[in-house]
Structure 1
Amino acid sequence: MATLARRQRFPFPEIPEWFETFPSKMTMPAVRIEDYTKDDRYVLRAELPGMAPEDIDVVIGDGVLTVEAQRSEQDIDKSHSELRYGAMSRSVTLPSGADEDDVKADYTDGMLTVSVGLGVEKAEARHVEIQHGG
């Protein structure tokens, strides 16, 4: 009778777990988003599960929309954690015609939805005459 033994790929069992939990800027960003246009509005949705609305800040200016959040670590003994703690943010460039004075934000069930009105007409590019001499 033959006995089958299970062989591990790594000689140390904690190494694969270390690679799985190693934080890296190459992996998904701390704030995962999606964006689209709907009904003449630019819409950004950001996943922020387990956050309180007072821990989230939305900043808009100079054609950039930024979502900032802060998750505080609980003072308990953990045997394992894959949660990210501390400050996190994500910025996106607003599309042409975004009206920075027409912004709405809602946070429900861990999903932040920010919408920005579109329709502010920007002046078309034009050529500028160059003067020579003084």
Structure 2
Amino acid sequence: MEARTFDPFREMDRILGTVNRGPSSPVLPMDLYRDGDRFVVAVDLPGVDPSSIDIDVEERTLTIRAERRSSVSEDAQWLTHERPVGTFARQLTLGYGVSTERIEADYSDGVLTLTIPVAEEAKPRKIQVSHAGKEQAITPGAAPDVVESTTEKDQG
């Protein structure tokens, strides 16, 4: 006789995961954060052939697609099958404050990392203030609110 443990939460998670996800649409776990003047997206894609990764941007939607193929023969009898195979896809809606033409992608150790720079026009910047009028200088020894014009005056 074999002793088995029953975890109702794990079983519920398994059932709901199958219903919500389905075998044809595996979940792509992802981290998204801002680091200074760039956003970083890290997507777990273990076991994915790098040549199957496809990333495109159409208007403000970034789409990531990848495929994991099974290396198990069709005659094999599964005892546990928890690693999904098939085509993975994830879409992100990008804001107008990012530079879509400068997105970079790197796939290393089963993690796809996208670097999305903040657009120059979205970065905070200082505005120089100019003063339109006569240039004036403070007269030494005078009260701070007394000023003398540095332009020549008509003497006539």
TM-score by length of 1: 0.68
Identity of paired residues, percent? 28
Q: Which residue of 2 aligns with 1:104?
A: 104
Give 2:63's aligned residue. 66
Shift of 1:121: 2.7
- The superposition leaves residues 61-98 of structure 1 with CA deviations (integer Å, 9 ceiling, x where unpaired) of 21121111111122421322111111110111113311
- Structure 2 unaligned runs (5+)? 123-156
Higher helix proportion: 2
Runs of 4+ in 1 over 4 A off after TM superposition: 6-9, 16-19
Larger radius of gyration: 2
Letter of the 2:116 partner, please give it: V
Cα distance in structure 1, aligned partners of 2:72 and 2:32: 35
Q: Aligned residue for 1:129?
A: none
Cα gap change, 1:7 to 1:35, in 2 (>3 Å): closer
Work out the CA distance in 2 between the residues paired with 1:84 and 1:40.
Answer: 35
Is the strand fraction higher in 1 or 2? 1
Structure 1 residue 8, shift from structure 2 partner: 7.9
Cα distance between partner residues in 2 of 1:103 and 1:63: 13
Stretches of structure 1 that go unaligned for 5 or more consecutive residues are 1-5, 10-15, 123-134
**Aligned residue pair count:** 110
Residue of structure 2 in register with 1:24 after alignment: 19
With over 3 angstroms needed to count, the CA separation of the structure-2 counterparts of 1:114 and 1:103, relative to structure 1, is same
Alignment-derived partner of residue 125 in structure 1: none
Higher RCO (CA-CA < 8 Å; seq separation 6+): 1
Using the TM superposition, give the Cα deviation of residue 38 of structure 1 relative to its aligned residue in structure 2, in angstroms: 1.1
1:103-134 deviation per Cα after TM superposition (whole angstroms, max 9, x unaligned): 10001111110011112437xxxxxxxxxxxx
Give the letter for the 2:18 counterpart. P
Name the TM-score, length of structure 2 as normaliser. 0.59
